[in-house]
Amino acid sequence: MAIKTSRTDENAAIIIDYSKCKACGLCVSACKDLSLIIKDGKLAINDRPVFGCLGCGQCAAICPNEAIHLEGRTLSKGDFIKMPDKETMAGYEPLRALMLGRRSVRDFKPREIESDVIDKIINAASTAPMGIPPSDVKVLVLKGRAKVREFSFDFLDQVKSMKWFFSPAMLLLLRPFIGRDNYEAFKSFIKPLIDGLLDKRAQGEDWLLYDAPLAMYFYGARFADPADPHIAATYAMLAAESLGLGSCMIGSIAPFLKKGAAGFKKKYGLNPKANDGIVVIFGYPGVKYRRAVKRTFAQVTVR
């Protein structure tokens, strides 16, 4: 029984090279689907797994003899590559320094971002974990200020056509159905935000995507876990930081694209049924940050 995603509806096939396999059982312990068993002292495929191979690749990754690979669910033998040397992996302190130094950047130099840098960001982001493999995350890349501004203005024009929905009278009418908290959020944040963005749009200014030289919209297909695009976007931001770029998540776009906006989605090749997503803007920072900010969670409970 394969778990379906937008990219596949079949299980992966587990390929065992018995000339290399020592039947050590490591892969059996790693497979939480119970797809592998030791039978008569030999590694075998279980005919009663939980779901069937999802293509997580744990068995191949843990095998000390490179005796296993997978075929299917977008994977093939060449996708199983050597683990990076520990010397090249970031330890805790360098990683924390990178995270602490990252800021939400909205002011950028008038410098375009090189294609190889964009490729590095996407390659790093593609390593992000997902709910069910293979990843259902899709990425729309808007390269260059002209493309980013076009997307921003097209989106704001779409929002303008929906502005009636956020009028005081309509919000008051909807209050019993959306609850007090949502009503206050619409009234005190969303409506003023829309008004301000549209005013700047009328003046020819982009205060939505800040005239960034690069934007990426991470969004999920209908089978994707809602968290998947946000995790991939976070990986992209950290990769960008390591490459000397600044970045900022823009969360005000995806909610408007859940319903309707057919013309806008068609122009940018977005799935009409696309789930949650997040836009990230990138660029070389136009300002220099001299101090980091120590932040905290609302609550941490240890039991």
pLDDT at 174: 66
Is there a single domain that holds both residue 149 and residue 30?
no
Is there a single domain that holds both residue 96 and residue 179?
yes
Q: How far apart are CA 10 and CA 1, in angstroms?
A: 8
> With the C-alpha atoms ordered 225, 140, 257, 109, is the resulting torsion angle positive or negative?
positive
The tens digit of pLDDT for each residue in 150-161 reads: 999 999 998 888
The helix-helix angle for 191-202 and 145-160 (nearest 10°) equals: 120
Is there a single domain that holds both residue 159 and residue 33?
no
pLDDT at 170: 67
Q: Which residues of the chain have pLDDT under 50?
A: none
286 within a domain of the structure (yes/no): yes
5 within a domain of the structure (yes/no): no
Is there a single domain that holds both residue 71 and residue 146?
no
Is there a single domain that holds both residue 145 and residue 44?
no
Is there a single domain that holds both residue 49 and residue 89?
no
Domain of 251: which CATH number? Answer: 3.40.109.10
100 contacts 56 by C-beta, under 8 angstroms:
no
Instruction: Say what the pTM is.
Output: 0.90
Is there a single domain that holds both residue 51 and residue 114?
no
Domain boundary among 38, 54, 79: 79
3 within a domain of the structure (yes/no): no
> With the C-alpha atoms ordered 277, 238, 236, 293, is the resulting torsion angle positive or negative?
positive
Element containing residue 244 per DSSP (H, E) = none
Domain boundary among 27, 45, 79: 79
Element containing residue 58 per DSSP (H, E) = helix 58-62
203 within a domain of the structure (yes/no): yes
Domain boundary among 35, 53, 79: 79
Q: Which domain holds residue 200?
A: 84-303
Is there a single domain that holds both residue 132 and residue 159?
yes
Q: How far apart are CA 4 and CA 20, in angstroms?
A: 32
What are the beta bridge partners of residue 142? 215
Q: How far apart are CA 136 and CA 188, in angstroms?
A: 35
Is there a single domain that holds both residue 42 and residue 113?
no
pLDDT at 236: 98
> How many structural domains compose the chain?
2
Q: What is the 3-state secondary structure (H, E, C) of 181-197?
A: HHHHHHHHHHHHHHHHH
pLDDT at 100: 94
pLDDT at 229: 96
139 within a domain of the structure (yes/no): yes
pLDDT at 259: 77
Element containing residue 38 per DSSP (H, E) = strand 36-39
Domain of 69: which CATH number? Answer: 3.30.70.20
pLDDT at 186: 65
193 exposure class (CB count in 10 Å sphere: 0-12, 13-18, 19+): middle
pLDDT at 160: 84
Is there a single domain that holds both residue 91 and residue 68?
no
Is there a single domain that holds both residue 205 and residue 132?
yes
